[in-house]
């Protein structure tokens, strides 16, 4: 799993909570992967919940085990069952259940940050800087006579193209296209 240029392994019990502005990709390796995913629009959340999420700054990456894992899985299953209902309470119940799941995730994230002092998926600019300088610049210099698009270079070091451009300019003080010229 790669979030905002930072790579980590997914295993049973890993829960990732992303915002729409997070760059995210998943690459399956040798082991089979069973994932549960749900997406929702922020209009289903109360303004207080949106403020709470923004205050604690996703993305969150949590590891749930034992009772915490079982409770989260149960909450998701209840959300899934509610989504299949057709009565007049369905939409309200979905909003309520999504709000509770978000609150539990934030509660775990705050506790995890207290334990670790920082979200392990906080933007790690130095890692992106190192990738650009140590891996990409030598490659660019060796292949300068070839077409080297920004998107191809970003993919080469597993970064989102927009994030790559931002990190490149921060590290070198000029844009990627200026560097090529």
- Residue 54, pLDDT score: 85
Give the CA-trace dihedral at 116, 20, 157, 134, to 10 degrees.
-50
User: What is the model's pLDDT at position 115?
Assistant: 64
Distance CA 121, CA 159 (A): 14
pLDDT confidence of residue 133: 61
The three-state (H, E, C) secondary structure of 120-138, written as one string? CCCCCHHHHHHHHHHHHHH
Dihedral sign for Cα 77, 83, 87, 93, please.
positive
Residue 68, pLDDT score: 93
CA distance 121 to 58: 9
Cα dihedral value 127, 132, 134, 135, nearest 10:
110
Q: What is the pLDDT of residue 65?
A: 92
- Cα–Cα distance between 141 and 148 in angstroms, integer? 10
Backbone angles phi, psi at 14, to 5 degrees: -80, 130
pLDDT value, residue 134: 67
Distance CA 33, CA 11 (A): 8
- Does this model's pTM top 0.95? no
Q: What is the mean pLDDT of each run of 10 residues along the chain (181 residues)?
A: 80 87 79 82 89 86 92 94 95 94 91 61 51 73 87 80 80 83 84
Res 130: pLDDT: 63
* Backbone phi and psi for residue 2, each to the nearest 5 degrees, phi listed first: -125, 125
pLDDT at 91: 92
pLDDT score recorded for residue 114: 67
For residue 28, the model assigns a pLDDT of: 76
């Amino acid at each position: 799993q790669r979030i905002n240029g930072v790579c980590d392994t997914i295993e049973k019990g890993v829960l990732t909570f992303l915002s729409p502005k997070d760059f995210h990709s998943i690459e399956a390796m040798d082991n089979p992967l069973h994932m549960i995913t749900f997406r929702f629009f922020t209009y289903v959340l109360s303004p207080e919940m949106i403020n709470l999420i923004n205050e604690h700054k996703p993305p969150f990456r949590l590891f749930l085990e034992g009772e915490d894992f079982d409770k989260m899985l149960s909450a998701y299953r209840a959300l899934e069952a509610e989504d299949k209902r057709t009565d007049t309470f369905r939409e309200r119940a979905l909003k309520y259940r999504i709000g509770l799941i978000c609150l539990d995730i934030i509660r775990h994230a705050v506790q995890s940050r207290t334990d670790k002092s920082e979200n392990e998926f906080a933007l790690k600019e130095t890692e992106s800087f190192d990738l650009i300088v140590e891996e990409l610049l030598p490659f660019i210099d060796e292949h300068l006579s070839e077409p080297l698009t920004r998107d191809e270079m970003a993919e080469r070091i597993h970064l989102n193209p927009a994030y790559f451009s931002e990190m490149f300019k921060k590290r070198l003080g000029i844009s990627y296209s200026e560097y090529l010229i």
